[in-house]
Amino acid sequence: MTPGILAHPQVAVVTGASRGLGATIAGFLVGQGFEVVLNARGRSPLESLARTLHRGTRPVHCIAGDVSDSEVRNEIKMAVESIGRLDLLVNNASELGPSPLPALSEYPAGDLQRVFEVNVAAPLALIQALLPSLRTYHGRIVNISSDAAIGGYPGWGGYGASKAALDLLSLTLAHELRESGVSVVSVDPGDMRTSMHQAAYAGEDISDRPLPEVTIPFWAWLLHQEPSRISGHRFQAQSDRWELPA
């Protein structure tokens, strides 16, 4: 067996997977022997990534569409059911909101509703749809958060509030699902050089930010942790230390 490859085939769903952090996580999981179901809004970049990743023996499945759409979530569910198992769900798809970022005191109500729909309601709805498979295989749920959830940064109020809600959702689900063997964590990946980050800083140079690949050591660590031990925790993927207190 190749070092680092899991002994038994596992299946993962990754949303927002066509670029940036989602594509990095998807590539890492494929390298670890996972069969992956990838979701993103844009069909063309998603299928391009799938062709790049489909270099091993495991299939790569593409479900193009907005994860806030119930029909898209149902397609993801059907793909999982056709495979026959689910071990990992990564809720990475996110909505930044208006760019340039508006002050919270002037935030358009419709835009705020959209941010919460994608960043809070959709991840929960997808978890609900996939929970039977996750329960069967004692799966893991990883919800991608942000330092904006706790920073109170000017301009980041709408996005940050949605990620703070996602953090609380993650912690609550961890408590509610503990007896069923499903683990839930939230992860702040840190500042990265991505298109979303560029949109948040329109016209500014963000070349000093690291690429999403900087988080790969964290994902390698997380994947090999005992799920019940880490469930309910919030991690920072670019922190100096990830270990939990004994």
223-237 burial, b if ≥16 CB within 10 A, otherwise e?
A: bebebeebbbbebbb
- The Cα 181–Cα 188 span in angstroms is 23
Catalytic residues: 159
**Burial (CB count within 10 angstroms: exposed 0-12, middle 13-18, buried 19+), residue 18:** buried
- The Cα 95–Cα 69 span in angstroms is 14
3 state DSSP class of 44: helix
> Residues 120, 164: contact at Cβ < 8 Å?
no
> Residues 133, 80: contact at Cβ < 8 Å?
yes
- Quick one: tokens of 156? 């980041």
- The Cα 35–Cα 12 span in angstroms is 6
